[in-house]
Structure 1
Amino acid sequence: MDITTDIRPFRIDIPQADIDDLHARLTRARWADDLPGAGWERGVPASYLKQLADYWATSYDWRKHETELNSHPQFVTTIDGEDIHFLHVRSRVENATPLLLVHGWPGSVVEFLDLIGPLTDPVAHGGDEADAFHLVIPSHPGHGFSGPISHTGWTDARTAAAFAVLMERLGYDRYAAQGGDVGAFILPALGRLAPDKMIGIHLNAHVTFPTGDPADMAALTEAERVRLAVFKDFQDDKSGYMQVQGTRPLTVSYGLTDSPIAQLAWITEKFKDWTDPAAELPDDAVDRNRLLTNISIYWFTGTALSSANSYYERFHDAAAWAPKERSTVPTAVAVFTTDVAIRRFAEKTDTIVRWTEFDRGGHFAAMEAPDLLLADLRAFIRSLT
């Protein structure tokens, strides 16, 4: 079979030497001290990060979580010159709806682990057999076990095209899709590329941009104005990581690739900034072991650069920011506590048929509030099929 189109079984097996090396690096870390009186507003406090690093080095069991990941069928296939890793978990319900799940940054396939059982076997989780899905959960090019990449130019549109090929290669002619963060950029691009293939698109952590129309701005509700203020605060005070990754990904990657403390802080900061503000600490919002499994994947695969490079491509892709025709694919948006999506802006570019706002859960909804995301996704797909 042609190696460019075959689908090869894949199993995660991190060498023990790499695990030992991680532990050694964590235990001999050189630490910066906290500034007197400084809190999370200046970055990750050393007092917290030291505790998390100690747990990673002495209590976290990578092999246990590697085994959990390997309990799901995984594969690799070559698309557009890169190996694309993905989980392919079929439901026992033969006519289940194919569903593409697309993670964000700094996420991975780990984001969806708690949803695999309820989505593929709803009856066993208190649901209805009609809500069963066949799941395809890829790692983005350059992320996790789809990386590092060997070519530049992996824009969101190119990634969307690769995922379209993946679904076709798996024999899925019609499918639904769910994603957040970067996934909420990729999936609308996929919908415009292959609208005839898409049953519907469900988004969370969606970013909408003001239209500039004075009438739109005047019509904003108070809740929407608050959301717009959150978006401005992100741009003014919380987007440093994005500016660095979008302009100089190579420079920052040296520290992230050499130091697990740097990689830990770089990602943990996002889990503090973007999770439900009701959670005092990142691992109050997301299970500590899930958080560290996600970060461990970035560390063991050495994908700090290639994942950061996706921001460089996004920043420098003129087509990504050019005006687009309104997508015809039915689209649902789930808005969690830290999300900034505004419906009147979203409707300019997408066919919004469902809009749900929640008072718990944040940016990493599949990890923070899987029950809410699951119910909303099921209701949306049920309305279309």
Structure 2
Amino acid sequence: MTSETPFQIDIPDEKLTILRAKLELASFPNELEDARWKYGAPLADIKRLTERWKNSYNWRKYEKEINEQLPMFTCDIDVDGFGVLNIHYVHKKSETVDAIPLLFCHGWPGSFLEVGKILPFLTSSAPEHPSFHVVVLSLPGFGFSEAPHKQGFAIDQYAEVAHKLMLALRYNEYVTHGGDWGSLITRRMASVYGGRHLKAWHTNSPLPKPPSWRLPLFFLSFLLTPWSTEEKAGIERTTWFQTKGQGYYHEQSTQPQTLGYMLTWISLYWFSRNGPAASLRIYFELRSNCEDLGQSPTIPMGASFFPKELIVLPTVWLCKSHNVVFESHHKTGGHFAATEVPEELAQDIWKMFVKGGPAFAIVPGRTGYA
């Protein structure tokens, strides 16, 4: 077992001083002040956030809270062809000995902090629901995980890091939950490590495959079946996001260094081990990997659908292309469900692995109950 080293956030005073100096120098043009979201983030909001960050925000207060609430560690992971990376993660064990090992995987602009609100639910022990030992990986280049030292660190490498971390913690068999990039990474894990190690996966960012003529009956059904009200709303939101909400994606997948200078209002990214631009490289490196996701995983999948997710496609598309054993549809919530509606998302995960549920006892010897 790779030894894990306890970790505490302790940003040097020098970095806080530099940040404050940069905020003091911040200036904003007055043009388009009333444009609101039509041209991007409204100027008034950016001014307000910058002013609060400069004069009212107390980093040391929140640094102390994070250190007290989240048990953090680091360990070295040897990535094939890329050498050893020092990886930061949260590892919170349940009091239930037979709790299910669960890897929680975030995306951008998320971080390990996304788990803060949902963690007490997932690790709690009760007769009516299963409990989990939760591991929250900081993806390489994010937060306090070391960034890759050379190009080509693609989705297989992110999946390898996550898998090897679970093995290092002696969780040879486990389940996963992912959102945003974490959904694609855990999907790849399900394809590569599914069956022997990864037993089931859950996501709040499901990406169904559109109907294809290769499945003629399904394709014909798609052509002849009218959209439901929910499906129409989902398609409209997906179209909006793809045409008007992906400016950041195109910037970061082609010129990832540029946005490093625009993320300074997010303290954790600013104080990241390798700087705010390191996390953006995931868009550049994974762009070609995500154009064709390949064959769908065959292990059991759970999907939670939230109306304000960025891409909302018909459920039937997912069920035809994946081994979906659990699905849930919500009236509220969006892309950051673990933070927005943590109890609802936790209940979905419980229902998937509860006694009598579709994935109960899927990890041998780990029922989630005392």
C-alpha deviation, 1:121, in angstroms: 2.3
C-alpha deviation, 1:115, in angstroms: 1.4
Partner of 1:247: 254
- 1:202 is the counterpart of 2:209: no
- Among the aligned pairs, what percent are the same residue? 31
CA contact (8 A) 1:89 1:135 kept: yes
Structure with the higher helix share, 1 or 2: 1
Q: Which runs of 5+ in 2 are unaligned?
A: 214-218, 361-370
Report the 3-state secondary structure (helix = DSSP H, G, I; strand = E; otherwise coil) of the residue aligned with 1:163: helix
- 1:211 is the counterpart of 2:218: no
For residues 121-160 of structure 1, what are the structure 2 equivalents within 5 Å? 121-123=124-126, 128=127, 130-160=129-159
Partner of 1:269: none
Look up the equivalent residue of 2:42 and give its one-letter code.
Answer: P
Report the 3-state secondary structure (helix = DSSP H, G, I; strand = E; otherwise coil) of the residue aligned with 2:5: strand
- 1:38 is the counterpart of 2:2: no
CA contact (8 A) 1:161 1:193 kept: no
Q: Structure 1 residues 51, 380: CA separation in 2 closer, same or farther (over 3 Å shift)?
A: same
C-alpha deviation, 1:347, in angstroms: 2.8
For residues 176-187 of structure 1, what are the structure 2 equivalents within 5 Å? 176-187=175-186
Partner of 1:271: none
What TM-score results when the alignment is normalised by the length of structure 2? 0.86
- Aligned mate of 2:269, from 276, 280, 298: 298
Q: Structure 1 residues 16, 36: CA separation in 2 closer, same or farther (over 3 Å shift)?
A: closer
State how far apart, in whole Å, the 2-side matches of 1:349 and 1:188 are.
13
Partner of 2:71: 73
Partner of 1:61: 58
Aligned length: 340
C-alpha deviation, 1:117, in angstroms: 1.6
Partner of 1:92: 95
- 1:234 is the counterpart of 2:241: yes
Look up the equivalent residue of 2:297 and give its one-letter code.
Answer: S
Look up the equivalent residue of 1:308 and give its one-letter code.
Answer: L
CA contact (8 A) 1:34 1:45 kept: no
* CA deviation string 1:307-327 (max 9, x = no partner): 11111111133xx43463331
Q: Which runs of 5+ in 1 are unaligned?
A: 266-294
C-alpha deviation, 1:28, in angstroms: 2.1
Q: Structure 1 residues 211, 155: CA separation in 2 closer, same or farther (over 3 Å shift)?
A: farther
State how far apart, in whole Å, the 2-side matches of 1:333 and 1:355 are.
5
C-alpha deviation, 1:130, in angstroms: 4.7
State how far apart, in whole Å, the 2-side matches of 1:9 and 1:183 are.
24
State how far apart, in whole Å, the 2-side matches of 1:99 and 1:60 are.
33
* CA deviation string 1:175-210 (max 9, x = no partner): 121111111101111111111222321101233342
- Aligned mate of 1:83, from 79, 82, 86: 86
CA contact (8 A) 2:36 2:43 kept: no
* CA deviation string 1:143-176 (max 9, x = no partner): 1111333222222222112111111110012212
CA contact (8 A) 1:93 1:129 kept: no
C-alpha deviation, 1:212, in angstroms: 4.4
State how far apart, in whole Å, the 2-side matches of 1:141 and 1:41 are.
33
* CA deviation string 1:72-95 (max 9, x = no partner): 221112221322111111112111
What TM-score results when the alignment is normalised by the length of structure 1? 0.83
C-alpha deviation, 1:372, in angstroms: 0.9
CA contact (8 A) 2:305 2:329 kept: yes
CA contact (8 A) 1:77 1:84 kept: yes
CA contact (8 A) 1:34 1:46 kept: no
Look up the equivalent residue of 1:240 and give its one-letter code.
Answer: G
Q: Structure 1 residues 119, 365: CA separation in 2 closer, same or farther (over 3 Å shift)?
A: same
C-alpha deviation, 1:109, in angstroms: 0.6
Partner of 1:120: 123
Partner of 1:222: 229
- Aligned mate of 2:334, from 355, 358, 362: 362
Look up the equivalent residue of 1:154 and give its one-letter code.
Answer: F
- 1:111 is the counterpart of 2:114: yes
